[in-house]
Structures are given as C-alpha cells and as structure tokens.
C-alpha cells in the first residue's frame, strides 16, 4: 500500500510577509534604530522648545513635530537597512531561491518597513508631545486636538516619516550597498534640499520642490506654508503637494528596484 507524501504548502504572500517580518525583528539594529529615532526626535523638539517665547507666533503643533529634522534620518536608515539587508549578509540567493518570483519579497519588505516606520513615528510624536508640555505651557503654545489644522500637522508628521522610510527602502533595494544607499538618501533628502534653499531662484526653487525633501512641508503649519509659498519662485505646492512629491519618489524607487530585481542579475 502506497502512502502519499504530505503536500507542502507553496509560497504564498502571507508566508513571505511572515518571513520578512521575522528577519527584521531578529536583527538587533532594528530596535536600536527605532529607539534612537524616537529619542532623537524628542530631544531635538525639547532643545528647540528652550527657545520658545510667548510672542514667537509659533504653534504648539509645530514645536511638537520640529524633531522631524533628525527623525527623518532615523526612518531613512530603517528603510535602507531593510532594502540592503539581504545583500549585505549574502542571504539574498537563499531568499530568492525560495521565492523565485522575487517581487513578493520587495512588496513584503515595503509593507513591514511602513508598519515599523509608522510605529516609530507615532512613538516619536508621543515622546515629543510629552517632553514639550512644560515649554508649551510656559510659551503659551496650545495644542487643540479638535482643530483640523493641528491634527493635520500631527498626522502628516507621521505620514512624512513613513514616506521617508519607504524612500530609503527603495534606494537600498535599488543600489544594494548600505553605504552607497545611505549616502545617496541623505544627499537627495537633506543635503541637496539645503543647498538649493540657500541659493534661491526660479530654477533652484523648482528643482527643490521636486525633491523628496519637499515632503517636509507635511510637518509645517498653515502659517509657515503660506509664508513659504509667498517667497518661493518655484511651484506653490500647498499643504499636500510635498506629500505627493514624496509619495511619487517612494513609488518610483520601488518600481525601479522591482524592475532591477526582475530583469537583472542579483549580484
């Protein structure tokens, strides 16, 4: 009598997602990146809060999210780590032998990066809210959570950090080298943005508006955005335009990384 061998479950997206999730959580650097990002964001918000004056005209929400300057670097590192992790330790061949179609791996990485970045951003937001309570009280800065403009800034702060993480993943998956990906990410996201900002003009302002760093507009309150749009010689993106630019960069980089993954050698 022949006994049929038990059928082994095939490759499903849920199994790929679970495998990528396990990989990310098993790396100690993930925890340190998350904690470091939260501490950096809260510390910078607290430090900037020391200079708040009652007549500064600053809003309470803008002080809370002011730590984005450092937090964006943390979520960028998170994305780069996920995007380059398989290649830096040499396990990519095993992974893609198990998942020959390859693209589900990239999609799973994008999802878990977004989830971890979301948790990190929320943690950074809460920590920044708590450490600036005294400074906001002394400076007369209120945070009205029933006000739509205030809620927009706080929610968009989280969206911005998640978007930066996905951009980091896309750059990492495209370049496959941690140092090259991180340097490229910092240049495109921060350095080029600041270089163009100190050299205003129609061309430079337009180029700056099209860089992923324009996503930082999501963290600005309405008064700051109005003042920025009034002085720029490039496109006036408004409160959501920067987020759209950042989103297009994230999608474009993932598409480029997916194309390389499917059409080119893994080396």
End-to-end CA, the chain: 48
Per the CB < 8 A criterion, the answer to whether 127 and 38 are in contact is yes
Q: What is the pLDDT of residue 141?
A: 83
- Phi first, then psi, for residue 257 (nearest 5°) are -65, -40
Q: Position of tokens 């930066």? A: 164
Torsion over CA of 193, 197, 203 and 209, rounded to 10 degrees?
A: 50
CA distance 41 to 161: 11
The 10 Å Cβ neighbour count of residue 175 is 21
The tens place of each residue's pLDDT in the chain, 267 residues long, gives: 454 444 455 678 888 888 889 888 888 899 999 999 999 999 999 999 888 877 767 888 999 999 999 999 999 999 999 999 887 776 777 777 777 788 889 999 999 999 999 999 999 999 999 999 988 888 888 888 888 889 999 999 999 999 999 999 999 999 999 999 999 999 999 999 999 988 888 999 999 999 999 999 999 988 888 888 888 888 888 778 899 999 999 999 999 999 998 886 665
The 10 Å Cβ neighbour count of residue 231 is 8
Of 124, 140, 108, 104, nearest to 45 (Cα)?
Answer: 124
10: left (phi over 0), alpha (psi -120 to 50) or beta: beta
Q: What is the pLDDT of residue 71?
A: 96
Cα 6 to chain centroid distance, Å, stands at 44
Q: What is the pLDDT of residue 7?
A: 46
Q: What is the pLDDT of residue 237?
A: 82
Q: Who contacts 194 (Cβ-Cβ below 8 Å, separation ≥6)?
A: none
Q: What is the pLDDT of residue 5?
A: 45
Q: What is the pLDDT of residue 109?
A: 93
Domain extents for the chain?
A: 13-263
Q: Position of tokens 């450092």? A: 70
Q: What is the pLDDT of residue 10?
A: 64
CA distance 187 to 125: 25
The 10 Å Cβ neighbour count of residue 169 is 32
* Alpha-helix residue ranges (DSSP H) falling in 92-201: 92-98, 103-131, 133-139, 148-175, 178-186, 192-197
Q: Position of tokens 């205030």? A: 150
Cα 181 to chain centroid distance, Å, stands at 14
What secondary structure letter does DSSP report for 145?
Answer: T
């Amino acid at each position: 009598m022949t006994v049929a061998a038990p059928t082994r479950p095939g490759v499903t997206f849920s199994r790929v997602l679970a495998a990528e999730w396990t990989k990310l959580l098993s790396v100690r650097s993930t925890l340190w990146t998350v904690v470091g990002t939260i501490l950096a964001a809260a510390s910078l918000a607290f430090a900037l809060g020391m200079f708040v004056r009652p007549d500064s005209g600053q809003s309470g929400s803008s002080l809370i999210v002011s730590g984005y300057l450092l937090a964006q670097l943390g979520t960028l590192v998170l994305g780069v780590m996920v995007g380059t992790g398989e290649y830096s330790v040499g396990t990519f061949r095993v992974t893609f032998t198990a998942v020959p179609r390859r693209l589900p791996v990239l999609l799973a990485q994008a999802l878990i990066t977004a989830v971890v970045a979301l948790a990190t951003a929320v943690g950074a937001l809460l920590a920044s809210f708590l450490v600036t309570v005294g400074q906001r009280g002394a400076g007369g800065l209120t945070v009205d959570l029933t006000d739509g403009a205030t809620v927009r800034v706080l929610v968009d702060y989280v969206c911005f950090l998640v978007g930066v993480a996905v951009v980091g993943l896309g750059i990492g998956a495209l370049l496959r080298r941690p140092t090259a990906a991180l340097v490229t990410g910092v240049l495109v996201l921060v350095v080029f943005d600041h270089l163009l900002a100190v050299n205003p003009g129609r061309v430079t302002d337009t180029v700056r508006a099209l860089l992923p760093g324009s996503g930082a507009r999501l963290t600005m309150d309405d008064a700051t955005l109005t003042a920025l749009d009034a002085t720029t010689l490039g496109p006036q993106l408004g409160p959501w335009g920067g987020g759209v630019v950042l989103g297009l960069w994230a999608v474009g980089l993932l598409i480029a990384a997916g194309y390389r993954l499917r059409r080119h050698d893994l080396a």
